[in-house]
Amino acid sequence: MTLDAKFLWFFAAIAGLLALASIIGWLLAKRATSESAVATVENLNQRVNAWWGMVIIFFISYQLGGNATVVLFSFISLFALREFITLTPTTLGDHNALFSAFFILIPLQYILIGTHWYSMFTLLIPVYAFLLLPAIAVLSQDTEAFLERTAKIQWGVMICIYCISHAPALLLLDLEGFKGQNALLLFYLVFVVQMSDVLQYVFGKLFGKHKVAPLVSPSKTVEGLLGGGLSATLIGGAMFWMTPFNFWQSLLMSAVIVVMGFLGGLVMSAIKRSLSAKDWGTMIKGHGGMLDRMDSICFAAPIFFHMTRYFFSV
């Protein structure tokens, strides 16, 4: 199959799935009578509509080329970090450090991806930002909770910029017999992560009984995790035709993506709770904030990136 053919099949399949989801949502909305059922179905339909929006944005960014995808993810990082910092109690003394994070680090990190400067892309945040952000903050001489403030900003920058940027960084990998098709790998990652989230939600709603970690995330159930996780892994395996992997490799990669995505959701949920919030924001109707949608990607993208690079690059 040519690149264009794979791409069209992929998006046609997603459009089909979403159309199916929209029809089911419409039928459920007609049948729902009790107040809680109406609320659940309304939230479901909001989610499906938001999915349409997100898929269309991805579709357009692909048509505009690799740089557009990099720019798209830089905005995702910006909105994610905005949500993270909004919930984090930073002070006046952090203003310059935060300014650097938002307006210097985000553009720089994505320019490094756009210009294929791999080594700097992996070092910029863990080395340079790690040392320079507290150095900038210390100049304002506010020592009150300095370690806590620094650590929180550090975490926000790692999760929202560094981790998320590993998704579009797939575009800079040089893979065996896969030249010019890396965008498909990015879609593969995003698709498996989101399928896993969606299927865990569906299985959880249909069969969920036993909670995995009720104190962290009341909505995650063992049934949802197993049913959703396994089916997402299988679907991911079956998508091997759009990757440089064979079926078994694809199955394993999907399993890693699903597990990391699940752990990401759990950890980010714990952080949200420790900042005493229920949702990260309100940007994406039905889903909450940008980080509510990206939490699994944050954890899955860097591991998927490095495993692919280690085992499959030229």
Among 95, 116, 210, 306, contact with another protein (rule: CB under 8 A) = 95
Q: What CA–CA distance (Å, rounded) separates 291 from 266? A: 12
Three-state DSSP state, 221: strand
Minimal distance, residue 262 CB to another protein, in Å = 27
Q: Is 90 in the site for another protein (CB under 8 A)?
A: yes
Nearer to another protein, 43 or 91 (CB): 91
Minimal distance, residue 283 CB to another protein, in Å = 8
Minimal distance, residue 137 CB to another protein, in Å = 13
Minimal distance, residue 102 CB to another protein, in Å = 6
DSSP helix, strand, coil percent of the chain (3-state; round to 5)? 80, 0, 20
Among 81, 129, 161, 172, contact with another protein (rule: CB under 8 A) = 81
**Letter for the amino acid at 41?**
V
Total binding residues toward another protein, as defined by CB under 8 A: 15
C-alpha dihedral sign at 113, 94, 83, 130: positive
Three-state DSSP state, 175: strand
Q: What CA–CA distance (Å, rounded) separates 20 from 117? A: 42
CA 108 to chain centroid:
20
Nearer to another protein, 251 or 279 (CB): 279
Q: Is 83 in the site for another protein (CB under 8 A)?
A: yes
Minimal distance, residue 110 CB to another protein, in Å = 16
Q: What CA–CA distance (Å, rounded) separates 66 from 24? A: 34
**Letter for the amino acid at 291?**
L
Minimal distance, residue 225 CB to another protein, in Å = 31
Q: Is 78 in the site for another protein (CB under 8 A)?
A: yes
Nearer to another protein, 102 or 118 (CB): 102
Asked if 284 and 293 count as a contact pair (C-beta separation under 8 A), the reply is yes
Q: How far apart are the first and last CA of the chain?
A: 22
Nearer to another protein, 83 or 295 (CB): 83
Stretch near another protein under the rule CB under 8 A, chosen from 48-56, 75-83, 210-218, 242-250: 75-83
Q: What CA–CA distance (Å, rounded) separates 306 from 118? A: 12
CA 189 to chain centroid:
9
Q: Is 85 in the site for another protein (CB under 8 A)?
A: yes
Q: What CA–CA distance (Å, rounded) separates 12 from 23? A: 16
Among 11, 52, 102, 241, contact with another protein (rule: CB under 8 A) = 102
Interactions with another protein, residue window 270-309 (CB under 8 A): 281-282
Binding site for another protein (CB under 8 A): 78, 81-83, 85-86, 90, 92, 95, 98-99, 102-103, 281-282
